[in-house]
Amino acid sequence: MKTQLPFGIFIFLINFLRYLLVAGIAFFVFYYVFKNSKSFQKIQNRFPKSSDYLREIGSSFMSCIIFGVVGYIAYKTPFYQFSLAYNNINEYPIWYFWLSILLMILLHDTYFYWTHRLVHHKSLFKNFHALHHKSHNPSPWAAFSFDPMEAVINGCFQFVMMLLIPAHFNAVAIFYLISMVVNVYGHLGYEIYPKWFREHWFGQWINTSTAHNYHHHYGKGNYGFYFTFWDKLMGTEQSK
């Protein structure tokens, strides 16, 4: 007899396995294969300690548990009936399927910028964001290394998204994979974009691993996720 995996555990496993896969590949490539290569240079010369990696992985595991709870509430409770999520792939044109992913990215960038700035407020930082900033020199494993309350805030984007953007579950899955890749890149500790791209007018609107590394090192500025336009608009962009 087949037993169906509880949906909350399914979402937890999807999040944690995606985290292990993307962060693990990045860690292996840049912290082993190219560790002493001149092709890629570490943004900060030193490397984190083994205890830092263990802390980042452990807290990321807890974050994925919280994301599993959020996923269960979003899709398996009456909340789903009030959302704009849809099951039938033919309910919207196929071009909208791909457009919805772009809309989720733009909404997430806005949500992340403002919630990220919020948890940097001195009254919230200690209980909401201090754990993430223990990674002064982040590694790919820091991608989901959140205090529980920050994981709740990040997870609640799911509710905001489902209330504002009609989206098929598969589009949501693709969006979260893109988000994971961008998140791991931001915490990579290496810059993979060439200098010419970062100096190009288009590249200056794309967030970089260098920018987010500065955020971890100095503890302020560069609050964006995918793009830099909120930081530019609000005067919070910094290069050193």
Q: What is the DSSP letter of 237?
A: -
Q: In the chain, which stretches have pLDDT less than 50? A: 1
Give the SS3 label for residue 106. helix
CA atoms within 13 A of residue 36's CA, in its CB half-sphere: 0
The confidence score (pLDDT) of residue 90 equals 93
The confidence score (pLDDT) of residue 39 equals 74
**Structural contact between residues 40 and 26, judged by C-beta atoms closer than 8 angstroms:** no
130-142 residue pLDDT tens: 999 999 999 999 9
**Structural contact between residues 84 and 166, judged by C-beta atoms closer than 8 angstroms:** yes
21-50 residue pLDDT tens: 999 999 999 999 988 777 788 999 899 999
The confidence score (pLDDT) of residue 238 equals 86
- CA–CA dist 222, 231 (Å, integer): 6
Give the SS3 label for residue 122. coil
What is the number of other CB atoms lying within 10 angstroms of the CB of residue 155? 21
